[in-house]
Amino acid sequence: MSTNPSTHSTPTLRVVAFANQKGGVGKTTSAVNTAVVLASRGVRTLLLDLDPQGNTTSSLGIEKNDLDGTMYDVLVELMSISAAMLHDVRPGLDVIPTTSDLAGAEIELVNEPNRERRLAQALHTVRYDYDIALIDCPPSLGLLTLNGLTAADSVVIPIQCEFLALEGVTQLIQTIDLTRKHLNPRLDLLGVLMTMFDARTRLSSHVVDEVRRYFPDHLFDAVVPRSVRLAEAPSYGQAITEYDPSSRGGSAYEAFADELMARLGLINTTGEMRV
């Protein structure tokens, strides 16, 4: 997927990092499903798997044993984004895949100059080619996540509707603030997405209320339910909107995509796409 830069007077790319140092909060599920929904709407989408576990890669049915390039090659070997990407994994969706090799990147990059900016520099070369890039950051606040935050324009924080949901979030916000101060002044908290909501329990509603008090101006209206169908979809290499589009999970990610596009200016007040 490419677009002649001469057709765009300014770059159109918006880069969004999905970040939370806690694991199991629905971060990968949210990045994958949002990317598929956006691409299905005609938004030129790039999805980057920055987690050494490679769950984003696996969730889309990508075979890890037959890759010409990965995120490791981009960050450590300085392979170009274009050379590492898989084109049209879905119509309108390109992917930078990841294998477990990425786990060694933080050690290998520790003495390299501008190590926090490797991903930002790589993305700069495709800034005319996409409308949005989504980064699935690992569940940590190490160098890989720092690369994601330095490359991003904005951050979405998925938070699960479970006990101690806000544990560690203060540290993440501090990391975002430090990244903004020292590495990426444009970085902005786009919003907080509540996941794994169980309408049968009081706890889920209580957690949403607690998070709303903590982030009064940033909570997305869309809430992702706890869902067996959402959990099953990756095992078939599919997004929920492909596996069971009429499910509650499918509806939730369609609604979240609406809000995301509105906050990023990808649609106007009448719901028409600007891309």
pLDDT of residue 10: 62
Least confidently predicted of 9-18, 90-99, 210-219, 259-268: 9-18
Nearest to 161 by CA among 193, 190, 191: 193
Strand partners of residue 188: 154
Tokens (6 digits) for 193: 């997405």
Q: What is the mean pLDDT of the chain?
A: 93
**Residue 158, in any domain of the structure:** yes
Q: Is residue 210 part of a domain?
A: yes
Tell me whether residue 59 is in a domain.
Answer: yes
CATH (domain of 20)? 3.40.50.300
Residue 220 to residue 190: CA distance in whole angstroms? 9
The residue-averaged pLDDT of 27-41 equals 98
Residue with tokens 């990610």: 253
Strand order in the sheet with 188-197: 86-90, 93-96, 45-49, 132-136, 14-18, 154-160, 188-197, 219-225
| Max CA pair span of the chain | 55
206-229: b (≥16 Cβ within 10 Å) or e: ebbeebeebbeebbbebbbbbbee
Q: Residue 272: inside a domain, yes or no?
A: no
pLDDT tens-digit map of 160-182: 999 999 988 999 999 999 999 99
* pLDDT average, residue stretch 223-240: 96
| Residue 141 located in a structural domain | yes
pLDDT reported for residue 7: 44
Q: Give pLDDT, residue 168.
A: 86
- Three-state SS string over the chain comes to CCCCHHHCCCCCCEEEEECCCCCCCCHHHHHHHHHHHHHHCCCCEEEEECCCCCHHHHHCCCCCCCCCCCHHHHHCCCCCHHHHCEEEEECCEEEECCCHHHHHHHHHCCCCCCHHHHHHHHHHCCCCCCCEEEEECCCCCCHHHHHHHHHCCEEEEEEECCCCCCCCHHHHHHHHHHHHHHCCCCCEEEEEEEEEECCCCHHHHHHHHHHHHHCCCCEEEEEEECCHHHHHHHHHCCCHHHHCCCCHHHHHHHHHHHHHHHHHCCECCCCCECC
Residue 215 in tokens: 């982030």
Q: Is residue 269 part of a domain?
A: no
Domain ranges, residue 232:
5-260
Tokens 């890890």 sit at which residue?
A: 64
171 within some domain: yes
Domain count, the chain: 1
**Measured between alpha carbons, how far is 20 from 246 in angstroms, rounded to an integer?**
28
The pair of structure tokens assigned to 237 is 């290499």
Band (66; pLDDT cuts 50, 70, 90): confident
**271, part of any domain:** no
